Amino acid sequence: MKHLITFAASFDASHQVGSEWPYCSEHVHGHEWGVYIDFHFDPMNPVYPSKDLDGLIGELAERHLNDMIRPASPTPLGLAGWLMERLLPLYKVDYVEVSYGGWGATVRADDVRRK
């Protein structure tokens, strides 16, 4: 039986996007970003990644994402991929979802491992 736990957080940050994410203004502006991360959980060896995740989200809060997640695009898809690449070496992550204002993107661990 596969056990999953979900980490959920939100933070405020600015970004500026061009044509790669047409659902947003091209000017510098901010959003409240939502992050959901599913981890495989072993009840016999419980590892709670909340300390690492709080720190990672804290690094992004109140910052300009264009400066923080280079070379990734400061879009929900770019941020989800950036988070996944940092978490996969440490944890058994199933997926990372990032959203704001009704728009979002999901990156699955299997998609990253196949690169």
User: 105 near 75, Cβ under 8 Å?
Assistant: yes
pTM: predicted TM-score of the whole model, two decimal places? 0.88
pLDDT category of residue 24 using cuts at 50, 70 and 90:
confident
Spell out the domains of the chain, with CATH numbers in brackets. Answer: 4-113 (3.30.479.10)
Element (H, E) at 35: strand 29-40
Kindly compute the dihedral angle of the four CA atoms of residues 7, 52, 113, 76, in this order, to the nearest 10 degrees.
Answer: 60
In the block, residue with structure tokens 């109140």: 62
Residues 27-84 pLDDT 10s: 899 999 999 999 988 788 777 777 888 999 999 999 999 999 989 999 999 999 999 9
pLDDT higher at 50 or 5:
5
Amino acid identity at 19:
S
Contacts of 57 (CB under 8 A, 6+ apart): 9, 11, 35
